[in-house]
Amino acid sequence: MAEASGGEEVTSNSDDRIAKSDDTESPQEKPTCILCLGMAGSGKTTFVQRLTAHLYAQKETPYVVNLDPAVREVPYPANIDIRDSVNYKEVMKQYKLGPNGGIVTSLNLFATRFDQVMSFLDKKRSTDFKYAIFDTPGQIEVFTWSASGAIITEALASSFATIVVYIIDTARSTSPVTFMSNMLYACSILYKTKLPFIVVLNKTDIVDHNFAVEWMQDFEVFEEALAQDTSYMSSLTRSMSLVLDEFYQNLRTVGVSSVTGAGMDEFKKAVDDAVVEFETQYKPEYERLKKDKEEKARKEKEDQLKKVKQDLGAGKPVAMETNPIGAQALASMHATPFHISLGADLDSDDDEGNGEEFDEEEMKEHDSFKRYLEKEKLKKQAGTNQE
């Protein structure tokens, strides 16, 4: 287990199946990323386990990534496990967080190393792993509305065909109000991720999912189911169902049983159709948005450079010659030997006649020193004559 600071690196358990990356590799040769989301208790982990077993049975080895740091055990072989990089309990202890805060912080720490996950996936081809399955935390809101969830989703969609799978507990959605709550959440995730979307009605071994499909296709049938409920919530649900009518029209819905494996073939077909939609509709839109963002950044940089130039101005030429006044002052200074200028500021506290008195004293000393030199010279000459 790595420490709460994020661990040393993200580990991968894929044996010797890492192929060399090819720069000329087409997007279709890369694995398809399946991001499994859903409310707590909807059966996400069990669905991932069943899907993994189904792909292994068809000789299509999946690449499985566990993003739930709080799970005790996973019932499937995980190639990358967030628990190998982040210690969930240690995060709660060090940062003094509760369960949901610990999950959010663990995902944030893992997101800082998600480039390593991307590098692992970049080395894979569809011949090695056709599908990369991501199991997310049970508390769906900590993934869908956190910064780390957006980072992971956008990073995957920028390089791989990415499909969002929203799993619903069919047995708990027999109530029209509960069903509408799930649909509203699904709609919000669709418009937030802007990726191909598949609704999986799980646990069909308990309750058949046809009632939910009929509610989405026929508003009158859903209206009849709401007629038995006269509460305020039923009135709100009725209004919301009209709003979601357009959302239902282009929605892929598959009934699946994670226990028996029923509906897995239909789910695979829905995933393949969603990949085609990603390549033809979503990917061009992503590239357009990316290009617009780069163009906007380039334009902002140019505008900043223009603004800096305007602030600095065009400038004026500076003559590289000596100031005439300064030159004259310098010449006069050299023309007057032994002249010392004390300056007006230094003598501002003295009397006005101090300058003249200083000159007279200096002249007296000069004459005295001159007479002394003449006497010394005469004495020296007299001594020479005597010799």
Cα–Cα separations (whole angstroms), residue 127 to 19, 51, 121: 10, 18, 13
pLDDT on residue 328: 62
The SS3 call for residue 65 is: strand
Q: Which residues contact 192 (CB under 8 A, 6 or more apart)?
A: 144
**Could you tell me if residue 17 is left (phi over 0), alpha (psi between -120 and 50 degrees) or otherwise beta?**
alpha
pLDDT on residue 14: 42
pLDDT on residue 24: 42
Q: Report the alpha-carbon distance of residue 188 to residue 185 in Å, rounded.
A: 5
pLDDT on residue 323: 58
Q: pLDDT tens per residue, the chain (387 residues)? A: 444 444 445 544 444 333 433 444 444 588 999 999 999 899 999 999 999 999 999 999 999 999 999 999 999 999 999 999 999 999 999 999 999 899 999 999 999 999 999 999 988 877 789 999 999 998 888 888 888 999 999 999 989 999 999 999 999 999 988 999 899 999 999 988 889 999 999 999 999 999 999 999 888 888 888 887 777 777 778 778 878 887 888 889 999 999 999 999 999 999 999 999 999 988 888 888 888 888 999 999 999 888 888 877 766 666 665 556 655 655 555 554 544 444 444 444 444 445 445 466 667 777 777 787 888 888 877 777 776
Q: Report the alpha-carbon distance of residue 135 to residue 334 in Å, rounded.
A: 90
For 231-238, the CB contacts below 8 A with 24+ separation are 233/177, 234/176, 234/177, 237/176, 237/177, 237/180
Q: Report the alpha-carbon distance of residue 329 to residue 59 in Å, rounded.
A: 98
Q: Report the alpha-carbon distance of residue 304 to residue 19 in Å, rounded.
A: 45
